[in-house]
Structure 1
Amino acid sequence: LMAHYIYLAKLTQQGNARIHEIHTRWEQFIQLLESRSGKFLSFYATLGPYDYIVIVDLPSDVAALEVSLAMARKGNVTFETCRAFDYAQFAKAVESTST
């Protein structure tokens, strides 16, 4: 069973200076994601505190952490990683905690 993860990414100074390499970095990200049995869902470039938001499916928290650490290690972005729950999962949790 796959879980949804949201990567909130900020470009570093190095990442901004190398923005023209975005296609290569994106291909590396997709390869890394797939090597952890992940699936890409969506990407958004954003205004505000984050430069990108990427939504993926991965099999575990450990896999999500590995992807985040591997990409951050390259020095182009920093990540905040969030585990996300769809409405059905959320509603089930609410029902199970209702008294």
Structure 2
Amino acid sequence: MPTYVTLLSWTDQGIRAYKETAARADAFASALQKLGGKLVSIYWTVGPYDLVGIVEAPDDETATAALLQLGGVGNVRSTTLRAFGRDEVEGIIAKASA
């Protein structure tokens, strides 16, 4: 399943309700699971982003739908990166070298 690294920043609304952040992460994991994806891990961070999530989804459309739902609640803004594992990147290199 494709992997995505999601960099999340709290909105003004999200930071005001910081005490609910763990419950919101659980709600996102449930919503993602209903769409066929998985929240592999989530980290609360210090620096330019407030959270980093590792997400698996069957395809880009599913990942995008889940992140639209998440953003639509209004607590975070996201920047998402498609991540490739070692096997995937070796396949990409093989295609590029053909």
Could you tell me which residue of structure 2 aligns to residue 55 of structure 1?
Answer: 54
Unpaired stretches in structure 1, ≥5 consecutive residues: none
Q: CA deviation at 1:7?
A: 1.1
State the aligned residue count.
98
What aligned pairs does 1:1-99 form with structure 2 within 5 A after superposition? 2-98=1-97
Cα shift readout 1:29-65 (whole Å, capped 9, x = no counterpart)? 0111101111221111122211111001100111111
TM-score normalized with structure 1 length:
0.91
Q: For residue 95 of structure 1, report the CA deviation from its aligned partner.
A: 2.2
| TM-score normalised according to structure 2 size | 0.91
Structure 2 gap segments, 5+ residues each:
none
Percent identity, aligned pairs only?
34
Aligned residue identity for 2:52: I
What do residues 4-50 of structure 1 show as CA deviations (whole Å, max 9, x unaligned)? Answer: 11111000111000001113212210111101111221111122211
Alpha-carbon RMSD across the aligned residues, in angstroms, is 1.2
Structure 1 runs, 4 residues or longer, greater than 3 Å off: none
Per the alignment, in what secondary structure is the counterpart of residue 56 of structure 2?
strand
